[in-house]
Amino acid sequence: MIGEKLNSIFRRIEEILEGRDRVRERVIMVSREIIRLSGQAISSIHQGRFDDALKNLNAAESIVRDVYRLVGDYGDLRSSGMLNNAICEYVEAKLLYAIVKDDDILSPEELSVDVVQYLQGIGDAVGEIRRSILEKVRKGDLERSYRLLEYMELIYGYMKALEYPEALIPGVKHRVDVARRLVDDTKAFIIDMERRMQLINVLEGLRL
């Protein structure tokens, strides 16, 4: 009797694990696709190809919705490392698009993501905002550069104020440390370039 009961129990366990494994393999595959699409969107944003970026973001968003439905009964897979990294990349790309293209910010609710994934994504977005600033400065657009710098400073300030343990917001403290350095370096760079441009204008005026 005990043997029959154990046999029944373990058959059911195998069915559950087989189903979980199929979902896990699917999660790995779609996570790679989310990362690919988000990375392409970020590249397109930096190149000013916003239509292409939006197409990739919409495709990534559709996959994110599908994968959330897929892992609905498997909470451990929803928070797995591979999927979490993909969602963070997606959040980063969506926020970068909103900031650079629309001069706006999106909430976790608007992105339908967990607050920790949001914090990780917005923390990573600081570095991409810096890349946009460098391009704006290269083109002489200091006004827009300062506006983007304001986003960097605000994101850093609000993230720094989150005094919670690492176990609750994993990876966020490291991103805050990185953001602080990026903000300081970017601000110094813009100020230096502004002074150089002013000096060039003065010298050109003297030649006239």
Q: What is the tens place of the pLDDT at every residue in 33-72?
A: 999 999 999 999 999 999 999 999 999 999 999 988 887 7
Buried b (16+ CB within 10 A) or exposed e, 73-108: ebeebbebebbbbbbbbbbbbbbbbbbbeeeeebeb
User: Exposed (0-12), middle (13-18) or buried (19+): which is 123, by Cβ within 10 Å?
Assistant: buried
Query: Is residue 182 scored above 70 in pLDDT?
Result: yes
CA 17 to chain centre: 32
pLDDT tens digits for range 99-129: 999 999 999 999 999 999 999 999 999 999 9
**Dihedral sign of CA atoms 27, 32, 34, 35 in order:** positive
Put simply, whether the predicted model's pTM sits higher than 0.85 gets the answer yes
All domains of the chain in start order, with CATH? 1-105 (1.20.58.2140), 114-208 (1.20.58.2140)
pLDDT number for residue 132: 96
pLDDT number for residue 199: 74
pLDDT number for residue 208: 58
Comparing C-alpha atoms, which of 154, 168, 57 is closest to residue 114?
Answer: 168
Q: What is the CB-side half-sphere exposure of residue 163 using CA atoms within 13 A?
A: 1
